[in-house]
Amino acid sequence: MEVLEARNLSVSLVGVDVLRHISFTLRRGRVLGLVGESGAGKSMLGRVIARDLPTAFKVRSGALTFQGHDLVTIAGEKHRELLGDSIAFIPQEPLTALNPVLTIGQQFDEHLGRLGVPQADRRTRMITALGNVLLHDPVTLLDRYSFQISGGMCQRVLIAMAFASEPALIVADEPTTALDVSTQAHIVQIMRKMQRDHGTALLFITHDLRLAAHVCDDILVLYAGDIVERGPARTLTAMARHPYTLALQAANPPLDGPAHRLATLPEQMPGIGAFTTLPGCRFAPRCPVADEECGRAVPPLREIAPHHFVRCSGACLTQGAKASAPEPLPVATTTPGVPVLVLKDVAKHYPGERDWLGRRRPGTDAVKAINLTVRAGEFVGIVGESGSGKSTVAKLIMGLEPITAGRIAIDGNDVSVNDSAARQVRLGTLQMVFQDPQSALNPRRPVGRLITQSLEAARSTASEADRVMRARALLAETGLSADLLQRFPSQLSGGQKQRVNIARALCVTPRLLVADEIVSGLDVSVQAQILNLLLDLRRDRGIGLVFISHDLSVVRYLCSRVLVMQHGAVVEQGDAEAVLGRPQHPYTQSLIAAVPPEDPDRPWPCNSP
């Protein structure tokens, strides 16, 4: 039975189509994946279902029907009724979706009240529902607030609430993006089991094609508002034909098998403002096989195999994407002599708060006696789940937090106490690249000033002309155009901001970068560009890197050595290929098992019955 059907649906903003002629069918008990990067239009579809389009966006033509009701035209009251009873949403940010001033029980109770569940039955219903999503001790959980539980637990609460009305359709918009890899595997497994048990139709919106291949029955790949490829998940991932789908696959580093330099697309997806300049295929400026035909008219969606469609004028179907021979990864060479960074038995303890009698509660050992040596030209990864202590290590290295025990040396100088001498040593040797490029860049400074900002901290006497020249050179080195010099951060894309962040870190020619989750917020094709940039910097500058990440595939791609952290301690370390290829510690094994395998036919928790 068809639950959701889109027929030629177009959404426009002041006459420009931001979603063009979208058609698909989602049946009962099936999972449809909407895959695409930021700006592809995938979340817009969820907003059409919720009638929550941003101001000035309108459904221009076509229909979106839910069990025969056109969600665009039905009366508001009927639409609200459907949203409560038959259509539920699982949001991207579980922590912001829950109200921090109400307990979990109060919010769940309110939700059940809206669904018409009698007061007397609600507590039992809540406890059963929270138990179904494998939350321990649901009775205690009802009295807790969202800020007292982890992001993964919040997401399970939201899944329990979404399934409470036994809806016919659930829209899950990037439900695991904010979670680490182990929590992602648990959440997806629970969601898939609940969906199978209830026969629910699930619209799964994600930027991760590899994850979608495991979770979904069918996949639509969206690019700049167009469906560019559509088909059964297994067929589409095994025999992808559109150059954009192929590029998404190629941009994702594998966790096993031979490692090659990631193939990247030039530039980035066009924004809405550029759509009017692209009357034909919107992928043409980045397409490796585009010809003059591609820019003339919107290419048709052609069926190239049963149920497998590709939007192309024909060039990519006849030529295929130009596959150049894979480039090998450059061999890492480290410089002998004094290491750039040495951590010897470094620990960090946070004392507990005092209770009302003035007694101190037990504190937290965030980092427990870790040892680490990094030489110039060496890339070392630190992996672990949220709360494992890996970001605290970055702060200790940078002197942002004092260490509780142990010793830190930079270029042979003891910097365990971050006094003015230690700060000078750090300034000349280390730079940090932060996770969120948006908040790391002062919005009031143009790019040129931002990049050379560290010269001020180093009290450089460089003239204005020298600073501009330096900024231009750094922009070129990080693959950015000199046109960006006068732009402000708000005028840059996410990938450009992270490059500016890296350019700024390079300004004082550091010998070691400390990078904390710097690609986790980026789209996969932009991530590939940044990873390749880091490898180029190692080749050209002999720079070292401490790379903190929860993404094991990315760490394997970049780093020659890896440390695995759990509860503040290093539980396994060594050569990255050995640790990630033949993990010995059960915790490392569990982290690796949680990564969706590249081959969708390989078992993974969520696709096992």
Interface residues toward ligand SF4, by CB under 6 A = 243, 281, 283-284, 287, 289-290, 294, 299, 312-313, 315-316
Q: How near is the Cβ of 324 to ligand SF4 at its closest, in Å?
A: 16
Q: How near is the Cβ of 140 to ligand SF4 at its closest, in Å?
A: 54
Q: How near is the Cβ of 314 to ligand SF4 at its closest, in Å?
A: 7
Largest pairwise CA distance in the chain: 78
φ, ψ of residue 469 to 5 degrees: the values are: -65, -40
Beta-strand relationship, 364-374 and 341-350: antiparallel
Contacts of 464 (CB under 8 A, 6+ apart): none
Q: How near is the Cβ of 311 to ligand SF4 at its closest, in Å?
A: 7
For helices 119-132 and 151-163, the axis angle rounded to 10 degrees is: 130
Q: How near is the Cβ of 241 to ligand SF4 at its closest, in Å?
A: 9
Give 297 or 400: the residue with its C-beta nearer to ligand SF4: 297
Rounded distance, CA 154 to CA 93, Å?
9
Give 66 or 309: the residue with its C-beta nearer to ligand SF4: 309
Q: How near is the Cβ of 284 to ligand SF4 at its closest, in Å?
A: 4
Angle of CA points 194, 199, 202, to nearest 5°: 75
Strand partners, 360: 354
Rounded distance, CA 12 to CA 600, Å?
35
Give 161 or 247: the residue with its C-beta nearer to ligand SF4: 247
Q: How near is the Cβ of 529 to ligand SF4 at its closest, in Å?
A: 20
Q: How near is the Cβ of 318 to ligand SF4 at its closest, in Å?
A: 9
Rounded distance, CA 459 to CA 456, Å?
5
Give 289 or 301: the residue with its C-beta nearer to ligand SF4: 289
- The helix (run of H) or strand (run of E) holding residue 541 is helix 524-541
For helices 119-132 and 104-114, the axis angle rounded to 10 degrees is: 120
Give 87 or 221: the residue with its C-beta nearer to ligand SF4: 221
Q: How near is the Cβ of 328 to ligand SF4 at its closest, in Å?
A: 28
Give 318 or 608: the residue with its C-beta nearer to ligand SF4: 318
Beta-strand relationship, 201-206 and 169-173: parallel
Give 270 or 299: the residue with its C-beta nearer to ligand SF4: 299
Give 63 or 289: the residue with its C-beta nearer to ligand SF4: 289
Q: How many CB atoms lie within 10 A of CB 491?
A: 12
Give 88 or 294: the residue with its C-beta nearer to ligand SF4: 294
Q: How near is the Cβ of 268 to ligand SF4 at its closest, in Å?
A: 16
CB 25 within 8 A of CB 65: no
Give 182 or 313: the residue with its C-beta nearer to ligand SF4: 313
Q: How many CB atoms lie within 10 A of CB 578?
A: 13
Q: How near is the Cβ of 300 to ligand SF4 at its closest, in Å?
A: 9
381 three-state secondary structure: strand
Q: What is the DSSP string of 474-523?
A: HHHHTT--GGGGG--GGGS-HHHHHHHHHHHHHTT--SEEEEESTTTTS-
Q: How many CB atoms lie within 10 A of CB 50?
A: 15
CB 470 within 8 A of CB 507: yes
570 three-state secondary structure: strand
Burial class (CB in 10 A: 0-12, 13-18, 19+), 608: exposed
- What one-letter code names the amino acid at 330? P
Rounded distance, CA 445 to CA 255, Å?
39
Contacts of 148 (CB under 8 A, 6+ apart): none
Give 126 or 312: the residue with its C-beta nearer to ligand SF4: 312
The four Cα atoms 512, 580, 216, 308 give a dihedral, to 10 degrees, of 80
Rounded distance, CA 199 to CA 352, Å?
47
What is the Cα gyration radius of the chain?
A: 26
- The helix (run of H) or strand (run of E) holding residue 408 is strand 405-410
Give 52 or 291: the residue with its C-beta nearer to ligand SF4: 291
Give 294 or 537: the residue with its C-beta nearer to ligand SF4: 294
Q: Where are the beta strands (DSSP E) in 14-95?
A: 16-27, 31-35, 57-66, 69-70, 87-90
Q: How near is the Cβ of 273 to ligand SF4 at its closest, in Å?
A: 20
Q: How near is the Cβ of 259 to ligand SF4 at its closest, in Å?
A: 28
Give 297 or 457: the residue with its C-beta nearer to ligand SF4: 297
Q: How near is the Cβ of 315 to ligand SF4 at its closest, in Å?
A: 4
